[in-house]
A = this chain, B = another copy of it.
Amino acid sequence: MTSELPSMTLKTIGIVRNGIKQALPANSDWRKIVSHIVINSALTEALDGLEGFSHIIVLYWMHGVAVVGQVPTKVHPMGKQELPAVGLFATRSPYRPNPVGKATVRLLQCLGNTLKIEGLDAIDGTPVIDIKPYIPGYDSVTNAEIPQWMTNLLADHC
């Protein structure tokens, strides 16, 4: 299936700095956590104009959970053993074939090659692989539906 495809190797474009040395428990609230992303200085100019957006999308490599070999195909949502296991692609479990995280965060400040952001669920030292502007309508959905088990999880979480 993949024989004709190019190699897909990621480059680190920046590093997360927030002093959080290990992952918080699965149901933790990261929404108020302030982090800095220090972008590779050769890419500083690529941030021009980003400060006009209130929110950005951060793609990052979840190096703290990267595992060698097979990941489970089914998982208990948020590690809750009392809930039926579901397919991992129906969850945001970090244990994925490609441990790439995607977070939508508030951009508080853009200064030189450093972005100050709020709401990133990533630990200190996490490699950042992309920054994209958050675009309402393209990145958001009106009246999206989720299953009841996810609704219940979110209610527990808040």
Contacts and interface: CB of A to CB of B under 8 A. Distances in A.
Q: How large is the interface on A (under 10, 10 to 19, 20 to 34, 35 or more residues)?
A: 35 or more
A78 B135 CA distance: 14
B1 A40 contact: yes
A89 B50 contact: yes
B150 A144 contact: no
A154 B140 contact: no
A70 to B, nearest CB: 9
A105 to B, nearest CB: 9
B1 A12 contact: yes
A87 B48 CA distance: 4
Given A11-B98, A46-B88, A53-B90, A6 B134 contact: no
Given A49-B149, A59-B59, 13 more contacts: A1-B12, A2-B11, A2-B127, A11-B97, A13-B97, A46-B73, A47-B87, A47-B89, A48-B86, A52-B146, A89-B132, A100-B100, A137-B154
